[in-house]
Each structure stands twice: as structure tokens, then as C-alpha cells.
Chains A and B, each alone.
Chain A
Amino acid sequence: MSSSPALLEVRDLRASVNGKEILKGLTLTVNAGEVHAIMGPNGSGKSTLAYVLAGRNGYEVTGGSASLLGQDLLAMDPEERARAGIFLGFQYPVEIPGVSNVYLLRSALNARRAARGESEIDAVGFLRLVKDKAKLMKMSESFLQRGVNEGFSGGEKKRNEVFQMAVLEPLLAILDETDSGLDIDALKVVANGVNSLRRADRGFVLVTHYQRLLDYIQPDFVHVLANGRIARTGDRTLALELEADGYDQILAAANQ
């Protein structure tokens, strides 16, 4: 046990929602620098995995462990996980009228800095940072002053999620169906954003239903989630195989 801990280490994780077990012993290791895609049919537990790792209320962990660089994630509140370096890109980003995008980002950045004992970010540096990242995501600067996701189209909301990720620079980004509801142009912008953030000390978990996203973001590993567990793991050719053959075969094997 001399090697340093993995970025994300999930072992035999079990979780229930409203008393129904959704994750049934899931094990997954993500090392720094890697991109993992989690695929699977509807109801297989993909979004549950994302929420459990981010710490959402109502998702009860009944067994197993999850750690970020050796820290026990499951013992932390959602905000502590965020400050430790977790970012969840929501499948359905929430509209919050009355709270501007910049206000949210400044609060979020300062919360992280405070947790590390750093002073608040200076106004000029902050503005430069958000403007740079907005440009990266091809977002107009007027979006910054608008209410969080308020009146945004589906595509704009997803773009805003990746924009927030770019500003907050997490260690581990979990993107929950960030590709759903995007037209091809928006998909390219989102994929470009993600690709530009790939770094040796950062990992990604892409939860997706379709192979399409993986044409633009090339994953190091593809996992198929079925019945609350990882049923198969492969490289990106597995995604192509699934595209061609569907999930049935794997599901059949998982249910045995």
C-alpha cells in the first residue's frame, strides 16, 4: 500500500432511494488524468451514482465506501465535497432567479478559498477569469449578470454547467448526461470545453446514455452500468459495440 491513493475510489457501494436499493455493490477507480464514461440503460443507476458521490439528500448509502484522494467522501456534506474538488454537472440544471451567475461563481470560489485558508479572490482577477472562461464556452458576457440558468434554453443550461466547471477547476468532474438535449453545435462546444480542461491531475466521470458524446470526448475507459453494478469495462471500442448491439446482451449477463 505504498502507492498514493486514487483520485476516486469507489468500493462495493450500495445506495437506496426511498427504501429501494439502486446501487448494489458498485466498484470503480478513477485515477488522475483519466476520463471514464459510465453508460447504461435507463434506470440502471447512472444518475444515482452521480448524486451519491455529490452528496444529495435522500440518497441513502447502505454499504461500501467512496473516497477522493483518500478522504472519505461519504462523511462529508455536499459543500465540503465541492470544496474538496468534486464538481457535479447536473442533468437538469436548476433555475435560480434573483441570484446572478457571477454572484454564484464568486461565492463558490470564495467558499473553496476559505476552506483552504486563502483570502477572497480580488475583483479584477475574478472578472478576468470568468470572462476568459465565458469566451471558451462561447457564452455572451451578458449571461454572467443574468439569474442562474434563468430563462436559459436546454443547451444554454448545459453550456453554463461546463462554464461553471471551467471557473471552479475541480479535481473530479462528474457530468450527468451533459449531452442530453444538445444539438450538434452545442455538443461540440460542450465537448471542447471538457477537452480543454483535461489535465494530468484532473479526472472525469461522464455519465451518458448515448455513444455520441464519446465521438467528441475520447474516454480512457467505458463502463456499462446494469442493475446497480458495473457489468462490463472496456476501452472506447466498447461504446461502439454498445451502439451497434444495444445493452441486451450485457443486461442478460448481469441478471444471471
Chain B
Amino acid sequence: MARTGLQTARSTTDADRATVTPPWQVVAERNLPTIAELTWLADRQTGALARIAASGLPDSASEAWRYTNLNAYAKRWSGFLAAEQDTNSVAGSPSPSLAASQTVSPQPGPDDINLDLIDGRLSRLPGEVRQGLTIQSFRSLSELSRERVDTLLQLQAGGTSNDALVDLNTALLHDGLLIATSPGQQQLPTIHLRSHLSATSLIQSRVLVDVAPGSHLSLIVEHSGAPGCLSNTVLQIRLGQDSRLGLVRVQALPGDGMATESTLIELADAAELAVTSVDMGAQLSRQTLTILLAGTGASADVQGMFLADGNRHIDNQTSMVHKAPGTTSRETFRGIADDHGRGIFGGRILVLPGAAGSNAALTNRNLLLAPTAEINTKPELEIYVDDVRCSHGATTGQLDANALFYLQSRGLDAADARKVLTVAFLREGLSGIPDLALRARLDAQLKARMGKSSTANLRMGAPA
């Protein structure tokens, strides 16, 4: 029997450890020369690899990673590599079948464009793409698209220029997806992107979205996966002047899935962004959402919702950067922690000196349904200009005793009343989803989940 990577790691001394090749190095060295269609990306990948080799994965020493430890994530990856060496399987890109995506059952509208991203690769190009819309894989980019991709790959949305997870993603890319609109296109179909993960490697998905000036786009991204899946996704999005984007992101990974996700969005003058983020699955999920209001009068509305029940660990770190004058942001994140679940929310508002006349509001509301569950919330304001209006607030509590009694006084028994209120609390987080079928589906899933969770009925703590 071959020794696995884990056994190797255990048996090394501190002195040896420095010489153990980190997993990203192993995979990158294997991948880099093999994908002919991505040679244009090679320099960028080499640079990113050097940075991630120097920095390593984020650790809890940094404030943004205080509550989320990536050790189990790194360990699972090493396990994949070891198993791969054992079976001598072909490295790189597994080719899971679409049948593996049994966890998703979307019912998109008739005019929607459905895209299946399997392990970061488009399973097929949509047969007929509407005029005004470009959908291309990184391996088959037109010259014009390559320029766009090059720009978008560098988009940082005012975040740090040295983000380890974005570098990791870049270094190990084996494909990617570009979605771009043409200027002025306002009647485009909704794009429904289903990103499905298999369980055999650390999957890097990269999605770039370019919403051209004056165009309107609605994009739904749903994450699903096979048991034990592992992924690191990066979304980079640019909104041109007067453009609009509705982005719905649903994380519904299996209960033992692990995922990190970085979403970086930049808005030009008078662009409008509406984001709904939903976390219902995974064992470990960490999303970093960074929005840069770079153009005058740009506005962003973010609604987030998470359900951290079972042993789930769900971490959302959002950052709203006001850079230009007259920019507006409104953000409401709500979460539930139950059983041994843990929910983490960090919400940062940064108002830079140039952003006079800006308006920012941030609310975080949480329900703690079991004494063994945990919520950590941290709203943060950094303001470098006088003429702004900012508000923020965070609450963590139990169900409202008045509302419980009200429902009971109408004849609902205590358990039902608690379930109704819990679902209602989360449902508010779905109210911004324009696709009614999707909203109804998520609503039904929530109801089923709260119905199953016996703790929701028994332990929600009758108010004293």
C-alpha cells in the first residue's frame, strides 16, 4: 500500500515539513504545461502560484479569518491528492456526468438560458445565444473576449491586492466562464448558472461577468455538489455605467461539502446592483463578498440569508466600499444557528474620502435556536468623509415572545408557531429574488428543513 499524503505529513519533523510540497504546487506543476488553450494565462498563473506559495492559505491570525479555520479544507485536499496517487488516476480534470447533479432540480422560466458548470467547466455551450450576449469558455475565447477577461481577472473591487484564495484559484485554473452583455441590451433572458462539484479534487471555478453600459442582466448562480466535494470559486463582476445586475447566489452543497467563494463586484456611474445570497448547505462555507461603488451615484442592495443547523459552519464576510460621491448601499443579512451550527457575519462599510453625500445602511439579524449553536457578528464602519449617512445594527436573539403568543392565541400550537415564525424570518431574506419559481422552491426547502429539525420545535426555548 502506498503511503498517503496524510501519513507522510504526520511522520515528518518540523525540519522536514518545510520541504513538503504544498498541494497547490503539486497540482499547478501538473496542470500548467498541459492546457494548450490557456497558455495566454500562464504568466498570470505563475505569478499567482508564487504568491500563494509564499503566503499559504489564510489563517486565523488575520481578523477576517478569525472564526474560520481552513485546516480541514486543506486536509481534505491532501487526501484527494494522496488517493489520486494511490490509484494512479489521471490528474487534472475529472469529467463527471450531468446525472451527478441530482441535488438540483431547477425549474427555470421558458426563456432562461441554462448553463451547467461542472467542476468549473461549461458542460456545453448554449445552443442559441441571444444577440447582445456573449458566453464563452476560457479555452475558446475570441480576441475581444480575451481582453475583457484579462481586465476582469484583475478586478479587485477595492479589496486587498493579495488575496490568497483568488490567487489559489488563478494558479490552478483549468477553465473559466465569461458572460458579457452588449451595451444597451435591456431585454436579455435570465441566465441560470448551475455550478456542480464532484468530490475528487479542489475545484476552481472562475466566472467573469461584464455588464456593459446601459444593459440589464439577471443572473442566478446555484452551487450544488457530490458528497465530500471541495471548491474554491471566484466571481468577478463589472457593471458599466447605467447598467443593472440582479444576482442571486444559492449555496446548496451537500452536508459534508466545503466551499470557499470570493465575489468581487465593481460598479461604474449610476450602476445598480441587487444581490441575494442564500446559504442552506455545506459543512463549511465561507463567502467573501466585496463591492466597490466606484462610480458616482452607483447603488447596491444586498440581502443575505443563512441557515447554520446541524454541524454547519457558515461564514459570510461582506465589504461595501464607497469610493465615489452620492453612492448608496443597503445591506440586510439574516441568519439562523441551530443544533451545533455556527454562523459568522462580518459586515464592513468603508467610505473613502471621495465619497461625499453617500448613504450606507447595514443590518444583521440573527436567531439563535439552541444553546449549543453559535453566532458571531461584527459590523464595522470606517468613514473618511463628513458628509455621509451611515447606519448599522446587529441583533442576535430568540423568537419574539409576543409573536409566538399571538399565533398561539389564534389556535396554532407552540411547535407550529415556532416553525412558522422561523420560516418567516428566513423568508424575508428571499423577498428580493425576482424569479418567483426559484423563490417558491427555496421557500419549500426552508419549510421542509425547519419541519425536519426537531430542535426547531423543541428547543427553540419557550420564553421565560
Contacts and interface: CB of A to CB of B under 8 A. Distances in A.
Interface residues of A, number: 32
Nearest to A105: B410
Interface in A76-93: 77-79, 81-83, 87-88, 90, 93
Interface string A48-60: 0000001111000
Contacts of A121: none
Interface stretch (A20-28, A33-41, A95-103, A202-210): A95-103
Contacts of A96: 403, 406-407, 421, 424
A104 B425 contact: no
Contacts of B408: 55, 77-79, 82
Interface in B390-444: 400-403, 405-414, 416-417, 420-421, 423-428
A57 B405 contact: yes
Interface residues of B, number: 27
A90 B406 contact: yes
Contacts of A55: 408-409
A168 B411 contact: yes
A123 B403 CA distance: 26
B423 A79 contact: no
Contact of A82 (B410, B420, B424, B428): B410
A98 B408 CA distance: 17
B405 A56 contact: yes
B409 A82 contact: yes
Contact of B414 (A77, A93, A109): A77
Nearest to B413: A79
A176 B416 CA distance: 25
Contacts of B33: none
Interface string A90-134: 100110111100011101110110010000000000000000000
B445 to A, nearest CB: 15
A164 interface: yes
Most buried by A among B413, B417, B463: B413
Contacts of B411: 79, 82-83, 107-109, 111-112, 115, 168
Interface of A: 54-57, 77-79, 81-83, 87-88, 90, 93-94, 96-99, 103-105, 107-109, 111-112, 115, 147-148, 164, 168
A-B residue pairs, 7 tightest by C-beta: A98-B424, A82-B411, A111-B411, A78-B408, A108-B410, A94-B406, A98-B427
Interface of B: 400-403, 405-414, 416-417, 420-421, 423-428, 462-464
